[in-house]
Homo-oligomer: A and B are copies of this chain.
Amino acid sequence: MRLGVCYYPEHWSASMWKDDAARMKALGIDRVRIAEFAWSRIEPSPGEYQWDWLDQAIDTLADAGLKVVMCTPTATPPKWLIDRHPDILPIGADGRPRAFGSRRHYDFSSPSYFEASQKICTAVAKRYGKHPAVAFWQTDNEYGCHNTVVSYSPAALQRFRAWLKQRYATIDALNTAWGTVFWSMEYRNFDEIDLPVATVTEAHPSHRLDFRRFSSDEVVRFNRMQTDIIRAHSPERPVAHNFMQLFTEFDHYKVAADLDIATWDSYPLGALEEQWFDPSIKAKWLRTGHPDFASFNHDVYRGMSKLPFWVMEQQPGPVNWAHWNPAPLPGMVKLWSWEAFAHGAGCVSYFRWRQAPFAQEQMHAGLNTPDNQLDLGGEEASLVAKEIDRVVTEDGELPVAAKVALVWDYEAKWLFEIHPQGVDFHYPRFAFEYYSALRSLGLDVDIVPADAPLDKYKLIVVPPLPVVPDDFAARLAASGAQVVLGPRTGSKTQNLTIPDALPPGAELAQLIPMRVWRVESMRPNVTEKVGQRGESRHWRDLIEAGEGVQIESNFADGHPAILRHGSIRYLASLFDDALTQSIFQDAAKAAGLDAEPLPEGIRISRRGPLTYLFNYNSTAHRITDAASFIVGQEEVEPQGVAIYKANNTHQ
């Protein structure tokens, strides 16, 4: 079995635990995550640990044959700790401490908190590190949630100055790298440098970008402290962290490098409501989520996980935290679960076993209602449990074997946010739109960092990537793949300055000779025609094309819109969905890939010999290429899933 659940024994009478465990097991669940918010129960007063209840809870789960995912409780330091060390509280951009009374009220740079966290992690790891039922670990919970990566504290300032000194060695080097001569911002020593906040107008962009890098590195350091402690006291157990959906405020690749399993928390309906999508899109996929949203995240976390990635928290019904919280359509919990496995998940764990009747999340559904009836999500989870062994037998747990890579980068998000030039230049949106265009062509996609090996891909798609690694062009060329570069690629150096030879920089310009001599950003009610093929939005690179470069389409005013030099394409703008799809289809076909547009709302994934088909629509879909079905049948009901062997192979 590969299903899990998040469980909070401390929320319920101990008299309920045994029955809970038995019902979990009966439902088909075998992994139970616990204790990530239980610090005040583990250590109700300074140094007074109370293990009894937790011992009993773990033993109860173990007795039912369940494995435990044990957590460190550092996401919620208790009140007594805050009162002893008020410097734990993070400082907001307004200069005020962010108070106790919810969660994540800690500053990654606080020395007090680092020490207190070492202590509690050590205590927990020692206590349960070798418990036979403790099979996995999770560090903390959702690093960065509620905008907590960055803190403007004295501790952060002190560590930032040291970080800068480490990076630049001398203040002259920093002044030169940033270009502080502009507006007389030059520093005479590292101690003159402040945090980039509350300035009269925008702070220096290089200063801001380095502060974001520093803040991200503080998360890495904090997490590594925890993984080191866990590994010391709990050998052989994989260590995970539960990342968030489309979250970009720290470099997930760096944190994941210290983990065994990258996991993520999947709430497709809340995400749809809170992200950039137009109101019409939000209405259209209201109760299903966007057909590519969970997949995008699956592919992000699969790419950075050493062992198969997990969904650590799977939405089982309505959530409580979006502006509006609709209920998933019947079938969606099952569909989402299967979609995770189709993308290579090692486990899908539902959040939470039972809806809590109190506190902030009391309106967040669970597999069971607060009056302990099995809810719709629980029923669908049990259906998945019943089908899963059949599928594992057939697909042999073969890895996803994507031929298409999409480059995904965290610094790009920070850089474009700091230095947008057009206020709606939202990197995750554009990366997602590229991904969605690929998925709408039926392509499986690996999402990879810019420094990943690229040899195994036939098509490499690069959403706007301002800073490219030194050897990026070389690796692209060596791959032999068809390449599509988005606008603004190579537009900045590491220090957030313009490359000497102008974008896309000397190295990429060797692959596709061109020079971006001017750019413009466009307000939402302005678009530009691209030949007869479609429209562009948001942005234009105005390009002087070099020798041998083929202009595949021009804008109406004659500037090149789509350029190609052999297998390298450069897109001067962000295009409408149909045009983006058409360009990617051309590139995929040039790469020898099978790429035909799927009907709207239909998505497929392939794993080993199996095709997984997901119907996000509210009308049935008929499958015409199936040889045999493992799950479902030819007529796929609304919100239905089919898993089958096709009678001809694609790709």
Contacts and interface: CB of A to CB of B under 8 A. Distances in A.
Contact of A204 (B102, B199, B318, B376): B102
Interface string A270-300: 0001000001101100100000000000000
A521 interface: yes
Contacts of A521: 318, 324-326
B99 A96 contact: no
A629 interface: no
A104 B200 CA distance: 7
A532 interface: no
A501 B370 CA distance: 8
Interface in A166-213: 178-188, 192, 194, 196-207
A192 B80 contact: yes
A76 interface: yes
A393 interface: no
Interface centre among A200, A360, A419 (most CB of B within 10 A): A200
A327 B95 CA distance: 38
Contacts of A51: none
A203 B101 contact: yes
Given A199-B99, A518-B317, A323 B423 contact: yes
A361 B102 contact: no
Contacts of A497: 357-358, 362
A358 B526 contact: no
A101 B94 CA distance: 16
A133 B525 CA distance: 49
A279 B359 CA distance: 36
Given A103-B183, A181-B40, A96 B95 contact: yes
Contact of A96 (B182, B198, B280): B198
> How many of these chains are in the complex?
3
A384 B314 CA distance: 65
The prevalent SS among residues of A at the interface is loop
Given A73-B184, A185-B40, A525-B283, A203 B102 contact: yes
B358 A79 contact: no
A533 interface: no
Nearest to A12: B181
A97 interface: yes
Contacts of A282: 523, 525
A498 to B, nearest CB: 4
A500 interface: yes
B370 A324 contact: no
A422 B273 CA distance: 11
Contact of A324 (B104, B207, B423, B499): B423
A83 interface: yes
Nearest to A43: B184
A324 B96 contact: no
A628 to B, nearest CB: 33
A171 to B, nearest CB: 11
Contacts of A326: 520-523, 526
A148 interface: yes
A78 interface: yes
Nearest to A422: B324
A96 B93 CA distance: 11
A365 interface: yes
Interface in A345-368: 355-363, 365
Interface in A542-590: 542
A333 to B, nearest CB: 13
Nearest to A527: B283
A520 B359 contact: no
A15 interface: no
A11 interface: yes
A374 to B, nearest CB: 11
Contacts of A518: 317-318, 327, 365, 369, 375-376
A371 interface: yes
Given A204-B102, A317-B518, A358-B206, A273 B199 contact: no
A521 B319 CA distance: 10
Nearest to A517: B369
Given A188-B80, A324-B521, A521-B325, A200 B102 contact: yes
Contact of A38 (B11, B148, B184, B358): B184
A283 B527 CA distance: 10
Contacts of A501: 371
Contacts of A187: 79
Nearest to A286: B526
A593 B206 CA distance: 57
A526 B325 CA distance: 12
Given A105-B199, A192-B79, A520 B182 contact: no
A287 to B, nearest CB: 8
Nearest to A523: B324
A638 to B, nearest CB: 11
Contacts of A95: 96
A486 interface: no
B182 A358 contact: yes
A105 B200 contact: yes
A279 B198 contact: no
Given A192-B83, A203-B102, A369-B517, A323 B184 contact: no
Given A179-B359, A358-B497, 9 more contacts: A38-B184, A40-B185, A80-B192, A146-B200, A317-B518, A327-B518, A363-B419, A369-B518, A371-B515
Interface of A: 10-11, 37-41, 44-45, 73, 76-80, 83, 90, 94-105, 145-146, 148, 178-188, 192, 194, 196-207, 273, 279-280, 282-283, 286, 317-318, 320, 323-327, 355-363, 365, 369-371, 373, 375-376, 419, 421-423, 495-502, 515, 517-523, 525-526, 540, 542
8 contacts: A78-B184, A101-B199, A103-B200, A104-B201, A146-B200, A273-B523, A358-B495, A369-B502
